[in-house]
Structure formats: C-alpha cells, structure tokens
Amino acid sequence: MIYADNAATTRISDAALNTFITLSRDTYGNASSLYTVGQRAKEALEQARADIASVIHAEPREILFTSGGSEADNQAIRSAAVLGLSKGKKHIISSAFEHHAVLHTLNKLEKEGFSVTLLPVHEDGLVRPEELEDAIREDTCLVTIMYANNEIGTIQPIRELGAVCRKHGVIFHTDAVQAIGHIPVDVEADNIDMLSASAHKFHGPKGVGFLYAKKGIRLTNLIEGGAQERGKRAGTENIPGIAAMATALKEAIASLSERAEYVAARRDRLIAGLSAIPHSALNGDATKRLPSNVNFCFEGIEGESLLLLLDDRGIMASSGSACTSGSLDPSHVLLAIGRVHDVAHGSLRLSLGDDITDDEVDYIIKNVSEVVTYLRGFSPIWRDLTAGKKPFIL
Amino acid sequence: MALYSEKVMDHFRNPRNVGVIEDADGVGEVGNAKCGDIMKMYLKIENDIIEDVKFETFGCGSAIASSSMATEMIKGKPVAEAMKLTNKAVAEALDGLPDYKMHCSVLAEEAIKSALEDYEKKRAEKTDAQ
C-alpha cells in the first residue's frame, strides 16, 4: 500500500500521538482551573504556544489556537476586513487558486460590500509580485495569498509579495497550511502579518491549527464565549491536540531540510517517469513546488476512474476531476492555471510521504502508465484524438 | 470503497461489451468533455433484435459501470423493448448510485436511445432508397 495523498492529510506521528495520549490521560484538567492538574494543562498549552512561535520566528502572544486551517483563514480575513472597514477601506486582493476557506470567505465579504481582486496565477501556478503591486489601491485593507498551493504544490514568492504589502502598508495574510513543516517558513523574514496552519498536514492530529497574527493586529472573534485565547477564541482549549501539534511541528522542523531533499529527489523521479506517458503534462512549475507534490493531467481520461483503479493496485491519490468533487466543474486550481475542462478532468495528484522509496515511485509510474493506457483504450475522446478528428491539447 | 455498491465496482472493474462495432447499424454519442462524461454506443441489429452492442466511455467509475450495465440489459432484446430502458432501471440494476451520480445512468439511457434513433434513421433512409 502506498499512501500518496499527504496533501489531504497525514498519519499522526508516534511522538505526536504519545503527547496526545499523555495529555488526554494524565493532564486532563481545564487550563482555566486553579488546582494542579488544571495548571499543568495551562503550562502544556503555553509551552506549545512558545514552541510553535519559536519555529516560525514569532512571539508566543502572536499565536492563537484554532480548530484548523479553515477557521484560521476565516478569522484572519474577517479580522482584516473589520479593521479595513473602520478606516473606510473595503478592497481585498487574493489569488484565483486559493483554498475555498479563503475564496468562500471573500465571496461572503463581497456580498457585504467589499470588492475583491483575484490575481492571475499564470501557467506556472505563480503569482507575480509586480501584478500585486499594480492591483493595490488606496482602499486595499488585505492581501491574502497562499504560501503553497494545495493541489499543484507551487510555492509563491511570499517574501517578495510580503515586501510589496509592507511598502504599501497593507496587511498580508498567507494560508501556509501546505507549507508549514515542509519548507522553511519565517514570518519575520517573509514579511508576513498573518498566517494560517493546520496540524494534520504535518503529522499532527486533526481538528487543531493555529493563526499567527502580528502584534498590533486586532483580531475579531468568530466564536464568542469564555476568555480563552486572550478573549479572541472562546471554548475550552484542545490541549492534547495543541500539544501534539507542537510535538509534530518541532519534529518536522528538526528534519526539514534532509527530508525535503530526499522527498524532492523522489518527486523528480516520479515527474520524469510520468512525463514519459504520451499526451500528459505536469501542472505547475517543476521546481518551485513542494518537495512532495506531483500533479499531472492525462489527456483522454477522467480522474475518478483513474483513482479507483489505482486504489485497486494499492495506490492512494487524489484528482481535481469534477466527479471527485461532486460538482460539474473540475478543480478551480487547474482552470486558474489555464487547463481547459477536457484536460482538467483527467488530473492526478500524488503527494508523497517522507518514507517513499525509489521502488515505490517506480511502482507508481508503472501502474499509472498501465491504467491510463487501459482507460484510453475505451475512451471515445482518445479515439477521436488518435484518429485525428480532434487536435491534442497536451 | 464504500462510495459505490459491489455491483457498480464489478461493472467498473470488468466492464461488459467494451469496444467498437465497425459496421454498426446504429451509433449514438452523448455527453461532453466539459462535464467530464462522454458515452458512445454501437448497435448491431438483425430482424429488430439487438444482436450485439458495444460501448466506449470517457468518465468516472459510475459512468463506466452504467454503460456496461445498460449494454447488458439491452443485448438480445427487441428494439422496441430497448427503447423503453430507463435510467432508473439501470441504476436499480447496479444496486443504486449515489445521488450526485444519477446523471451517469441518465447518460446511459440517452446513449442507447441516441443509437436506436440513429438505427431508425438509417433504416428509413434505406427504405427510401429502395
């Protein structure tokens, strides 16, 4: 079995699971309580906050714990919108291929009177800093651009984008859910004002994440209630989850560069192997991408049937086809980089684990190649393409 | 995967009647690549009986399974009976489809109807020529 869907979620690490179990079993107190087991829980919470802050070069008080990346994205954008509104600024800039946690929040704000500019991401899956600069207006209150894309893995020029925002005094938020724990992220060096992260993408538990918000940025609550998280996020803290997230993140950071180098070499082997399949194309820039991410389009086939047959062969992956999303449209990410519908339906995302081997990569190449050939064998589109009735797109 | 019934997975993994009939008496193609599903049906008809049927499908698991099941349901049947095939019958024969995949069974019904209409049209042209 090869689990190649680590961009969807990862298996919790043994160390993170141990932290989770220990805190659930032994340090079960409520951090708001005065007695010892409560205060121990409070200490674990603040230790996790300090550990996470130091990893991204922030201060502990700048870290707010959330239920995950989506909540962090929602709160970051809402907060910046409220701040903007107080100064009469109602323009937000983002990119065309953000996560839906960002895009849907922006849609809601548009209905509330904000105007939103979505920057193009071009064929290479990258936002251009000069295009950001051109888009900034007097009334721009927020720029939100993801660190690395969840489908095609392209890594944005975050530091340059952040510098443009600094120059114009605009708050810069980045959804770093796919990046944290996999590539170096430093909020100070990268000029980031707000950042969202999710534990289960770096071998932490599900249902926990954090929002970094630079000192001085006033957050708006999504959840009202108790005084937890400096009054900005009510609800008894998920301390086992938060502490396990800190364990997982420290672990990921300790081995980051050697892991990234190892996985990227397997990624490139996989890209080279899949490129040999006729009428296929890699989605997104070949080098400015996450070490684990491979995303291809194969002409003449549909992604869901590819996934099901790969699952039969022990390979777990994902696709941006409409059939896997439950809608009629294929992935907005693939459409944003200029893939037409016909081709976008035939996409495959493989997001490799840290322990992927060369043999497993070769097994994936062989099986993807066989399944694509098999499906093309009875695809009416492929028949028309090979008969010259329609021109190949890829 | 629990997404589909055993029967859907069986017809998806081992599709029946896959391929092309070169001298088909009726051919029908429905769907479009934009939506991610295309089905093409080929019919060989003698004395108003569907002697042979083949299909080609670009689409998801349930689209392939629906095509396969639909061809099995009309093979050897009189044309008039095949015309009555409904998407509901195809979906039921597959032990059900998820709600958002019901359109795959609709495509299967439409592909067969389209091929049968093509057959009727060709037959009418032949009669006219005689």
pTM exceeds 0.90 for this model: yes
* Alpha-carbon gap, residue B59 to A345, rounded angstroms: 9
- A273 and A353 inside one domain: yes
A226 and A304 fall within a common domain: no
Residues 6+ positions from A350 with CB-CB distance below 8 Å: A4, A5, A270, A293, A294, A295, A317, A364
For tokens 């193009």, the residue is A120
Handedness of CA A12, A18, A20, A24 (dihedral sign): positive
Q: Closest residue of B to A312, CA-based?
A: B13
> Which pLDDT value is given to residue A329?
79
What pLDDT, on the 0 to 100 scale, is given for residue B32?
Answer: 86
Q: Please, is B99 exposed, middle or buried when counting C-beta atoms within 10 Å of its C-beta (0-12, 13-18, 19+)?
A: exposed
- Give, in order, the Cα–Cα distances in Å from A248 to each of A123, A139, A177, A180, A182: 34, 40, 14, 11, 12
Q: Which residues contact A89 (CB under 8 A, 6 or more apart)?
A: A138, A139, A140, A141
Count: domains in chain A = 2
In-domain check, residue A391? no
Among the listed residues A350, A8, A1, A5, the one whose alpha carbon sits nearest the alpha carbon of residue A206: A8
Kindly list the catalytic residues of A.
Answer: 323
What 3 state SS string does chain A have? Answer: CEECECCCCCCCCHHHHHHHHHHHHCCCCCCCCCCHHHHHHHHHHHHHHHHHHHHHCCCHHHEEEECCHHHHHHHHHHHHHHHHHHCCCCEEEEECCCCHHHHHHHHHHHHCCCEEEEECCCCCCCCCHHHHHHHCCCCEEEEECCCECCCCCEECCHHHHHHHHHHHCCEEEEECCCCCCCCCCCCCCCCCCEEEEEHHHHCCCCCCEEEEECCCCCCCCCCCCCCCHHHCCCCCCCHHHHHHHHHHHHHHHHCHHHHHHHHHHHHHHHHHHHHCCCCEEECCCCCCECCCEEEEEECCCCHHHHHHHHHHCCEECECCCHHHHCCCCCCHHHHHCCCCHHHHCCEEEEECCCCCCHHHHHHHHHHHHHHHHHHHCCCHHHHHHHCCCCCCCC
Q: How confident is the model at residue A324 (pLDDT cuts 50, 70, 90)?
A: low
Looking at residue A62, its pLDDT comes to 98
For chains A and B, count residue pairs whose Cβ atoms are closer than 8 Å: 71
Asked whether the beta carbons of residue B36 and residue A321 sit closer than 8 angstroms, the reply is: yes
CA angle A1, A309, B37 (to 5 degrees): 145
Note the pLDDT of residue B127: 84
- Tell me if A181 sits within 8 A of A248, measured CB to CB: yes
Which whole number is the average pLDDT over A65-76? 98
> pLDDT value at position A327?
66
* Residue from the list A303, A321, A380 with its beta carbon closest to the beta carbon of B40: A380
CB contact under 8 A, B12 and A308: yes
The nearest alpha carbon in chain A to B1 belongs to A308
CA B68 to chain centre: 7
Domain membership flag for residue A1: no
B71 interface with A at CB cutoff 8 Å: no
In chain B, which residues have their Cβ closer than 8 Å to the Cβ of A384? Answer: none
In this complex, the residue of B19, B20, B58 whose CB is nearest that of residue A381 is B58
Q: Does residue A8 form part of some domain?
A: no
Instruction: Examine residue A9 and state whether it is found in any structural domain, yes or no.
Output: no
Q: Please tell me whether residues A262 and A375 are part of one structural domain.
A: yes
Of B9, B55, B60, which has the smallest distance from its Cβ to A323's Cβ?
A: B60
Please tell me whether residues A294 and A246 are part of one structural domain: no
Strand partners of residue A241: none
Q: Is B40 on the interface with A (CB under 8 A)?
A: yes
Which percentage of chain A shows pLDDT scores above 90?
97
Interchain pair B36, A328: CB under 8 A:
yes
Using the Cβ of A316 and the Cβ atoms of chain B, whether some distance falls under 8 Å is answered with no
Touching check for B85 and chain A: CB below 8 Å?
no
CATH number at residue A333: 3.90.1150.10
A57 and A150 in one domain? yes
Q: What band does A385 get if pLDDT is binned at 50, 70 and 90? A: very high
Q: In what order do the strands lie in the sheet with B49-58?
A: B26-32, B37-46, B49-58
Same domain, A242 and A317: no
CA closest to B38 among chain A residues: A380
Look at residue A2 and tell me if it is in a domain.
no
Let me know whether A175 and A308 are in one domain. no
Structural domain ending residue among the three candidates A254, A285, A314 = A254
Q: What is the mean pLDDT of residues A12-28?
A: 97
Residue B129: the pLDDT is 80
Q: What is the pLDDT of residue B50?
A: 97
Q: Is A40 within a domain? A: yes
What are the chain B neighbours of A321 within 8 Å (beta carbons)? 36, 60
CATH number at residue A67: 3.40.640.10
Closest in A304, A309, A378 to B57, CB measured: A378
Judged by a CB distance cut-off of 8 A, whether residue A379 touches chain B is: yes
| Interface check B56 vs A, CB under 8 A | yes
* Cα A227 to Cα A32: distance, rounded to the nearest angstrom: 9
Name the pLDDT band for A326 (thresholds 50, 70, 90): low
Q: Does A305 touch chain B (CB under 8 A)?
A: yes
- B60 in active site: no
Which of chain A's residues have a Cβ under 8 Å away from the Cβ of B20? 383
Distance from CA of B86 to the nearest CA of A (A): 22
Locate tokens 């597959």: which residue? B94
- What is the per-residue pLDDT for B126? 85
End position of a domain, from candidates A224, A254, A284:
A254
Q: Do residues A95 and A129 lie in contact, with contact meaning Cβ atoms separated by under 8 Å? A: no
Q: Nearest Cβ partner of B64 from A303, A305, A345?
A: A305
A236 lies in the same domain as A362: no
Q: What is the pLDDT along chain B (130 residues), one digit of tens a residue?
A: 568 999 999 999 999 999 999 999 999 999 987 778 999 999 999 999 999 999 999 999 999 999 999 999 999 999 999 999 999 999 999 999 999 899 999 999 999 999 999 999 999 988 888 7
Res A321: pLDDT: 79
Cβ–Cβ contact A22 with B under 8 A: no
Is residue A29 domain-shared with residue A131, that is, in the same domain?
yes
To probe the interface with B, which of A323, A325, A341, A376 has the most B CB atoms within 10 Å? A323
B56 and A308: CB-CB below 8 Å? no
Instruction: Find which of B54, B60, B66 to mutate to test the A interface (most A CBs within 10 Å of its CB).
Output: B60
Catalytic residue among B14, B35, B86, B125: B35
Give the residues across from A209 on adjacent strands: A66, A198
DSSP state of B90: H
Is B60–A321 a contact, with Cβ atoms under 8 angstroms apart?
yes
Average pLDDT of chain A, as a whole number:
97
Enumerate long-range contacts of A229-233, CB under 8 Å, 24 or more apart.
Answer: A229/A64, A229/A65, A230/A61, A230/A64, A232/A64, A233/A64, A233/A65, A233/A66, A233/A75
- In a domain, residue A278? The reply is yes
Burial of B20 (0-12, 13-18, 19+ CB in 10 A): middle
How high is the pLDDT of residue A325? 61
**CB-closest option in B1, B37, B101 to A308:** B1
Which of B1, B58, B102 best tests the A interface by mutation, with the highest count of A CBs <10 A? Answer: B58
- Let me know whether A151 and A249 are in one domain: yes
- pLDDT for A207 equals 98
In this complex, do A382 and B58 lie within 8 Å of one another by their Cβ atoms? Answer: yes
Q: How far apart, in whole angstroms, are the C-alpha atoms of residue A119 and residue A337?
A: 11
Of A221, A254, A287, the domain-final residue: A254
Closest by CA position to A325, among listed A292, A302, A309:
A302
Same domain, A241 and A264: no
The predicted model gives A281-298 an average pLDDT of 98
Expressed as residue numbers, the domain containing A72 is 14-254
Question: In this structure, is residue A103 part of a structural domain?
Answer: yes
Task: Count the residues in chain A.
Answer: 394
Structural tokens at position A313: 């062969």
Return d(Cα A62, Cα A176) in angstroms, integer.
16
Looking at the complex, report in whole angstroms how far the Cα of residue A310 sits from the nearest Cα belonging to chain B.
Answer: 11
Q: What are the tokens at A211? A: 């929002």
State the number of CA atoms in the 13 A half-sphere of A95 facing the CB: 32
Same domain, A277 and A302: yes
